[in-house]
Homo-oligomer: A and B are copies of this chain.
Amino acid sequence: MTGRTDLRRKPERAVDDRDAIHDVLDEGLMAHVGLVAGTGDQAHPVVIPMLYARDGERLILHGSPASRLLRTAKGGVDVCVTVTLLDALVLARSGLHHSMNYRSIVIMGRATEVIDHAEKVAALDRLVEHTIPGRTSQVRAAHDIEVTGTTVLTLPLAECSLKVRTGGPVDDPDDVDDPAWAGLIPIGVAVGEPIPDNAASSQTVPGHVAFWARGPGQLNGRPAPDGETT
């Protein structure tokens, strides 16, 4: 961790633990990728939601070569990639003590393009596996023209911070006898029944679809592979 991602506000919420950082990145589905567009007086921030995957100590991003964000980032511009998981609403006895329990990763750095064909194929597979574990073995391999027509970037996790809030509300001592309900409303990723397309092969739901889930099991209401409900 270096200066730019050191937490200036509420440093007690910082977690300097590679495993914890990996866990949050592996649980997340979507990153918000920021860069500076324009130059001089025209410089302004742009923040775009993107799929991502973690591959060891680097993040993988991809997109069309025509994408402004990927085109700019390829040129060696600094990016900031933020992944946020919401765990609970925190209800206190005064408005300003309301909060959220969350885990949030901020990665700053310079993304570089992956050129090697085999490395690009592996990175694109990681993107699919990140979102839907077990999926790549179910679909055809990427055609060469698809790989060529896709820009893949990697960003090292070197300059990376994790900020976490856990626990219940923290009220002013004068407020603790107020009659308002206080506590947590846990939130997570809900999963609905899979909706097959019309093909005959889609009418039987395979395990990697039926058991897809993210985060705490008690929240998503999905069956576990072993038949338990946890």
Contact = CB atoms under 8 A, between A and B. Distances in A.
Interface string A48-85: 11010000000000001011100000000011111010
Nearest to A143: B94
Nearest to A150: B96
- The oligomer's copy count stands at 2
Interface string A163-189: 000001100000111111111111111
Given A100-B30, A100-B51, A187-B189, A68 B8 contact: yes
Interface in A215-230: 216, 218-221
Interface in A188-208: 188-197, 199, 201-202, 204-206
Contact of A205 (B44, B64, B95, B181): B181
A35 interface: yes
A84 B102 CA distance: 16
Contact of A45 (B51, B78, B178, B220): B78
Interface in A104-129: 104, 106, 108, 124-125, 127-128
Contact of A186 (B106, B135, B191): B191
A36 B199 CA distance: 48
Contacts of A68: 8-9
A228 to B, nearest CB: 17
B201 A178 contact: yes
Given A66-B9, A132-B98, A209-B181, A191 B187 contact: yes
Contact of A190 (B64, B128, B221): B221
Contact of A89 (B45, B96, B124, B132): B132
B86 A29 contact: yes
A48 B205 CA distance: 38
Nearest to A149: B96
A80 B8 contact: no
